C-alpha cells in the first residue's frame, strides 16, 4: 500500500509491476466506479492478469473512496481529472498510459483523454459513457434518489442488499452512505463540467467500449461510432452494469488485446488508425 500526496489530496495507490521482472511493455491505469466501488474491484479482477502479461499496473482509490482522503467538498469531474494528472506526475509516469475505466471511472478516463491526449495511448471504457449533459442529468437523479432512500431508512435498504446481494455489497453500501452524508458528492458530480460533441470527437486514440448485453448503455454505441475515429465495441451477453465483476475474464481478454496491440504498434513506430491528426 502507498499513499501519494498530490499536493491537494492524499490518494491510496497500489502498483503491480510485471510479474516477469522484465521492463513493462506498457503502463495501464485502472479507474474504478463511484460510491460503492474502490480499487479492490480491479485488484481481484483485471490487475493480476495484466501484470502477468507484462504490464505495469497502477490502481488507485478516487478521492473520498477506499483508503484515499475524504475531503468535505470537491467532487466534480475536474477534481478527479486533476488528481489523475498529479498522480501520474508523482509516480514519474512519463509516457502515454492505457486508461481503463469502469462506470464513473470510464467517464473520468474519457474526460482525461480529452484534456490530456498526449498522456493517453488507449481507452478502455467499461459500462460507461462520456460526460454529456444527459449523463449529468441522469446521474443526478439516480444519486439523489439513492441518497433519499438511505436517509429515509438506511437499515431497511442495507437489510435488502444483504439478503439479495450479500454482506459484502451491504458493507460497500454503508460506506457509500457515509461518503454521501459527510460530503457534497451528490451535488458536485452532477454539476460537473460536461463535454461538447466536438470535444468527444477530439479523442483520437483507440477507444474500446465494453457493454453488458442487457445494459441500456449499448444504445449509445452507434452515436459514439459516428464521432470517434477509432471506436471499438464489445457486448458481453447476459450481463448488465456489473459486467466487470461478473465476467472479468471476458472483459480482461478484450482490454489486454487492445493494450498489447497499441503497445506493439508504438514499439514498431506504427501509427494507430485515427491518430494521424495528433
pLDDT digit string (tens) for 5-44? Answer: 999 999 999 999 998 888 999 999 999 999 999 999 999 9
- Domains along the chain? 2-132+193-268 (3.40.50.1820)
φ, ψ at 253 (rounded to 5°): -60, -45
| Mean pLDDT of the 101-124 span | 98
User: What pLDDT is recorded for position 147?
Assistant: 87
pLDDT band, residue 278 (cuts 50/70/90): very low
Q: How far is residue 80's CA from residue 144's CA, in Å, rounded to a whole number?
A: 20
Per-residue pLDDT tens digits for 208-257:
999 999 999 999 999 999 999 999 999 999 999 999 999 999 999 999 99
Whether pLDDT at 271 is above 70:
no
Q: How far is residue 103's CA from residue 244's CA, in Å, rounded to a whole number?
A: 10
Q: How far is residue 108's CA from residue 110's CA, in Å, rounded to a whole number?
A: 6
Share of the chain above pLDDT 70, in %: 97
User: What pLDDT is recorded for position 273?
Assistant: 54
- The chain-wide mean pLDDT, for the chain, equals 93
Q: Around Cβ 254, how many Cβ atoms within 10 Å? A: 17
Q: How far is residue 78's CA from residue 112's CA, in Å, rounded to a whole number?
A: 9
Amino acid at each position: 500500500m502507498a499513499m501519494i500526496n498530490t499536493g491537494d489530496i492524499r490518494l491510496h495507490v497500489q502498483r503491480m509491476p510485471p510479474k516477469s521482472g522484465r521492463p513493462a511493455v506498457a503502463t495501464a491505469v485502472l479507474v474504478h466506479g463511484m460510491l460503492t466501488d474502490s480499487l479492490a474491484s480491479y485488484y481481484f479482477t483485471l490487475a493480476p492478469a495484466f501484470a502477468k502479461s507484462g504490464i505495469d499496473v497502477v490502481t488507485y482509490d478516487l478521492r473520498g473512496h477506499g483508503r484515499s482522503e475524504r475531503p468535505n467538498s470537491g467532487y466534480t469531474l475536474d477534481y478527479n481529472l486533476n488528481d489523475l494528472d498529479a498522480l501520474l506526475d508523482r509516480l514519474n509516469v512519463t509516457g502515454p498510459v492505457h486508461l481503463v475505466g469502469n462506470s464513473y471511472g470510464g467517464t473520468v478516463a474519457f474526460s482525461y483523454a480529452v484534456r490530456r491526449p498526449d498522456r493517453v495511448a488507449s481507452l478502455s471504457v467499461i459500462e460507461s459513457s462520456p460526460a454529456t449533459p444527459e449523463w449529468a442529468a441522469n446521474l443526478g437523479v439516480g444519486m439523489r434518489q439513492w441518497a433519499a432512500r438511505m436517509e429515509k431508512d438506511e437499515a431497511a435498504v442495507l437489510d435488502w442488499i444483504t439478503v439479495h446481494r450479500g454482506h459484502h455489497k451491504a458493507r460497500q453500501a454503508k460506506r457509500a452512505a457515509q461518503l454521501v452524508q459527510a460530503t457534497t458528492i451528490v451535488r458536485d458530480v452532477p454539476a460537473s463540467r460536461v463535454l461538447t460533441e466536438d470535444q468527444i470527437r477530439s479523442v483520437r486514440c483507440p477507444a474500446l467500449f465494453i457493454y453488458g448485453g442487457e445494459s441500456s448503455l449499448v444504445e449509445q454505441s452507434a452515436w459514439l461510432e459516428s464521432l470517434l475515429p477509432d471506436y471499438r465495441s464489445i457486448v458481453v451477453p447476459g450481463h448488465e452494469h456489473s459486467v466487470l465483476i461478473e465476467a472479468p475474464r471476458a472483459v480482461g481478454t478484450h482490454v489486454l488485446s487492445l493494450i498489447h496491440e497499441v503497445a506493439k504498434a508504438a514499439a514498431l513506430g506504427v501509427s494507430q488508425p485515427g491518430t494521424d491528426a495528433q
